[in-house]
C-alpha cells in the first residue's frame, strides 16, 4: 500500500486561551512553514472549531483538540469532544473519564510537567494511569524541555537559543510509556505547548514561526482523502494509532525515517500490533547518518553509530521502538511496533 508522510505541530495555544497570537495568524505561519497539519489545543476552549477554522487551508489541515484541565490540575488533549462545557470544573481524572464517555479520544499532556526554576508554582504530574480512558501521551514537549532546563545560569539561552535547552524526552516519561506499552498500545505524541506569549522589549519570544521548525510529529499513513472532514478524521485516527514518529527537525530533517517489521506475510508499520513468530525482521531506514538504538520493552538491544540502515531479527515477542541521535542531540523517537506473545 502506498503511504505518505504528514509533518505537523501539535499542542498550540491561541488567543482563545492564554496564547498571544490569534489562530488566524498561527494558521498563516504554519502554512508559511510548509506544515501539513497543526493541532490547536487551547485551554478548555474549542474556539478554533467554533469559528470554523478547522479543516483545510491550502495544503494545511487544521485540527482542534482542546487541552482540558484547570490551573493546578494535570492536563489532557481531547480529540472529538462533543461537550467541553460539561467537563469544566471537574478534577482532571474525572474529566478524562467523562470525555471518553462522550466518545473523545484523550492524550495525556506533559505527564511529567516541568518545574520552572525560580517560580514557586508546583508542577502537576498526571497520576491517573489506571484507566483505559486515554489513547496516547505526549512524550516530548518543546516548552516543557525549555522550562525544565531554564536554570538561572542558562537564562541567556531561554531568551535566545532556547532550542539548545531542548534535551529530549524525560527518562521517567519514556520509562512510564514503555511500561504502559507492555500491556496495551499507547500512542506517543510530540508537542510544542507554545503560547508565543511574551513580547520582550528586545525581541519577540517563542514565535510560532520559529517553533514550527522544531519538534514535529511525522504521521506515516495512506494518502488522506480530499474531503476535509474525512481527512481530519483519518489523520486523527493515524495519530491515535501511533502511526507516527517524533523528530526534532531543527538539526536535520527526519522526513523519510522508517521503521517496520518484515515477515513472510508482509510488513507491519509504526503503531501496529501482531503476534510474534519466528523469522520476523526489524528494518530501520534513516534519511541521514545517526546513532540508531533499537529498544525492546524499553531496553536497548542494539546500537549502531553513523548508521542509515539497520536490520536485525526480532528474536522474540516484545514492544520494539527506535531512538535516533545526531551527535549529542536527541533526534527521532518512533512509536513502537508491538509483537505480542502468541
The residues binding Zn ion (CB under 5 A) are 67, 75, 109, 193
- Return the number of the residue (75 or 208) whose C-beta is nearest Zn ion: 75
CB of 243 to Zn ion, least distance (A): 24
Query: What separation in angstroms does the CA of 158 have from each of 75, 98, 126, 149, 207?
Result: 24, 38, 26, 9, 13
- Return the number of the residue (75 or 135) whose C-beta is nearest Zn ion: 75
What does the DSSP assignment read for 185-253?
--EEEEE--B----B-SSSBSS-HHHHTTSEEEEEEESPPPSSHHHHHHHHHHHHHTT-EEEEETTTS-
- Return the number of the residue (67 or 178) whose C-beta is nearest Zn ion: 67
Q: In the numeric block, which cell numbers belong to residue 192?
A: 510544542
| Rounded CA separation 285/138 (Å) | 24
CB of 138 to Zn ion, least distance (A): 9
Q: In the numeric block, which cell numbers belong to residue 145?
A: 524541555
Please identify the residue of the shown chain whose CB is closest to the bound Zn ion. Answer: 75
- Return the number of the residue (29 or 241) whose C-beta is nearest Zn ion: 29
Q: Are 133 and 100 in contact (CB under 8 A)?
A: yes
| Rounded CA separation 72/74 (Å) | 7
- Return the number of the residue (74 or 271) whose C-beta is nearest Zn ion: 74
CB of 336 to Zn ion, least distance (A): 25
Q: Are 305 and 291 in contact (CB under 8 A)?
A: yes
- Return the number of the residue (106 or 286) whose C-beta is nearest Zn ion: 106
Per DSSP bridges, beta strands 337-340 and 318-326 are antiparallel
CB of 289 to Zn ion, least distance (A): 34
- Return the number of the residue (14 or 272) whose C-beta is nearest Zn ion: 14
CB of 70 to Zn ion, least distance (A): 10
CB of 41 to Zn ion, least distance (A): 6
CB of 77 to Zn ion, least distance (A): 8
Q: Are 63 and 232 in contact (CB under 8 A)?
A: yes
Measured between its terminal Cα atoms, the distance across the chain in Å is 26
| Rounded CA separation 215/250 (Å) | 8
Amino acid at each position: 500500500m502506498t503511504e505518505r508522510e504528514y509533518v505537523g505541530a501539535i499542542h498550540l495555544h491561541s488567543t482563545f486561551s492564554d496564547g498571544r497570537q490569534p489562530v488566524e495568524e498561527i494558521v498563516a505561519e504554519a502554512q508559511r512553514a510548509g506544515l501539513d497539519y497543526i493541532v490547536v489545543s487551547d485551554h478548555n476552549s474549542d474556539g478554533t472549531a467554533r469559528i470554523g477554522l478547522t479543516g483545510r487551508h491550502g495544503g494545511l489541515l487544521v485540527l482542534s483538540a482542546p487541552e482540558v484541565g484547570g490551573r493546578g490540575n494535570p492536563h489532557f488533549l481531547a480529540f472529538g469532544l462533543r461537550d467541553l462545557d460539561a467537563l469544566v470544573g471537574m478534577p482532571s481524572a474525572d474529566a478524562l473519564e467523562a470525555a471518553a464517555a462522550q466518545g473523545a479520544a484523550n492524550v495525556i499532556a506533559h505527564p511529567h510537567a516541568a518545574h520552572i526554576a525560580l517560580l514557586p508554582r508546583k508542577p502537576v504530574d498526571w497520576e491517573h494511569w489506571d484507566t483505559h480512558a486515554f489513547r496516547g501521551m505526549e512524550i516530548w514537549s518543546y516548552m516543557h524541555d525549555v522550562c525544565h532546563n531554564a536554570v538561572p545560569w542558562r537564562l541567556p539561552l531561554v531568551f535566545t537559543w532556547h532550542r539548545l535547552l531542548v534535551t529530549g524526552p524525560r527518562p521517567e516519561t519514556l520509562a512510564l510509556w514503555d511500561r504502559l506499552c507492555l500491556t496495551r498500545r499507547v500512542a506517543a505524541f510530540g508537542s510544542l505547548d507554545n503560547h508565543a506569549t511574551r513580547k520582550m522589549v528586545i525581541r519577540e519570544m517563542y514565535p510560532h514561526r520559529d517553533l514550527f521548525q522544531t519538534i514535529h510529529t511525522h504521521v506515516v499513513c495512506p494518502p488522506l482523502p480530499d474531503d476535509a472532514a474525512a481527512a481530519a478524521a483519518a489523520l486523527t485516527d493515524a495519530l491515535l494509532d501511533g502511526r507516527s514518529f517524533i523528530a526534532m527537525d531543527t538539526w536535520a530533517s527526519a522526513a523519510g525515517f522508517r521503521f517496520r517489521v518484515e515477515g513472510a506475510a508482509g510488513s507491519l508499520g509504526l503503531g501496529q500490533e501482531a503476534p510474534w513468530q519466528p523469522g520476523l525482521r526489524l528494518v530501520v531506514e534513516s534519511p541521514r547518518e545517526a546513532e540508531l538504538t533499537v529498544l525492546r520493552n524499553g531496553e536497548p538491544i542494539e546500537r549502531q553509530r553513523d548508521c542509515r540502515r539497520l536490520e536485525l531479527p526480532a528474536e522474540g515477542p516484545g514492544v520494539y521502538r527506535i531512538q535516533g541521535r545526531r551527535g549529542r542531540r536527541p533526534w527521532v523517537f518512533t512509536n513502537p511496533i508491538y509483537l505480542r506473545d502468541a
